[in-house]
Amino acid sequence: MRILKSMVRQPSALFGLAIVALLIFMAVAAPLIAPYNPDEQMFDGLTLEGAPMPPSAQFLLGTDTLGRDLFSRLLFGARTSLVIGLVANGIAVAIGLLIGILSGYMRGLVGNALMRFTDLMMAFPALLLAIVLAALLRPSLWIVAMVIALVNWVQVARIVYTETRGLVERDFILAERSLGAGHLRILFHHILPHLMPTAIVWGTLGIATTVLLEATLSFLGIGVQPPTPSWGNIIFESQSYFQAAPWLVFIPGAVILLTALSFNLVGDVLRDILDPTQRGRG
């Protein structure tokens, strides 16, 4: 409650929260809000020349190249993009926490091996690695989520490792060890609670990155496969009509941009609230 009160006092956080809440509502209520079936190809959804219909009273945001209502597809695409964003980023944060805590706490051979593996993963460009993994596997919603999670955990692991190294030298950890506390008790009762603010902030900020990466993969044709709508594959399917029907590219692109901006605004404010030492830093 204290965090929420602090956030609503800041205009940027309030704007971000409002947009995030609206997106979640649209995704959950898509079957009730959407005026048409997102996969329905309508005869009156194309002009006599076979071109997409522009925005009108019948089709609020126009139609796509197959005569499907763009507004309906954007609503259902929000479900796909947000589910992948939440699931993939949640898995990435969990993996990063596990590897970061273990490598920072255990040190020695195991800790060094985990960190060298993390460094190796960081050496690969995330987008290139995601493209390779997505191309090797048969793309689907859950496969894309897994691929994104496998390339996005390294930053979390590095941050958690650094913080864990500092925590294990603190007096209260040394006191627990002298009292005979086991490793699991120290990890879960003393170290992990101190790392949760970092996990929450990175979890929020990472959703924007995950949504953008999913859109990129879908735009390249190796993400979520049609007819399942996602914001990325809506742009991919319509790119050839960029000049004739620019709304097919600009509208989903603007939605992706607004989503990333909103989660970043919320994450930045959360960082300031949960870690006051970061306030004012770029």
Asked if the model's pLDDT at residue 274 lies above 80, the reply is no
DSSP 125: -
Give me the chain's average pLDDT, please: 82
**Residue whose tokens read 């742009």:** 235
Helix (H, G, I), strand (E, B) or coil at 230: coil
pLDDT at res. 25: 92
At position 277, the amino acid (one-letter code) is: T
Output the pLDDT for position 111.
80
Whether the pLDDT of residue 282 is over 50: the answer is no
d(CA 224, CA 247): 21
User: What is the structure's pLDDT at 221?
Assistant: 76
Res. 93: pLDDT tops 80: yes
Query: Is the confidence at residue 252, as pLDDT, over 80?
Result: yes
Separation CA 87–CA 167 (nearest Å): 29
Confidence of residue 197 (pLDDT cuts 50, 70, 90): confident
Closest CA to 73 of 26, 116, 111, 16: 26
Q: Please tell me the predicted confidence (pLDDT) of residue 141.
A: 79
Q: In DSSP terms, which residues pair with 69 in a beta bridge?
A: 63
Distances (CA, A) of 66 to 27, 206, 237: 23, 34, 9
pLDDT in tens, 128-145: 878 887 777 777 778 888
**pLDDT of 163 strictly over 60:** yes
Walk me through the domains of the chain, giving residue ranges and CATH numbers: 74-274 (1.10.3720.10)
pLDDT of 3 > 70? The answer is no
Does the structure show a pLDDT above 70 at 277? no
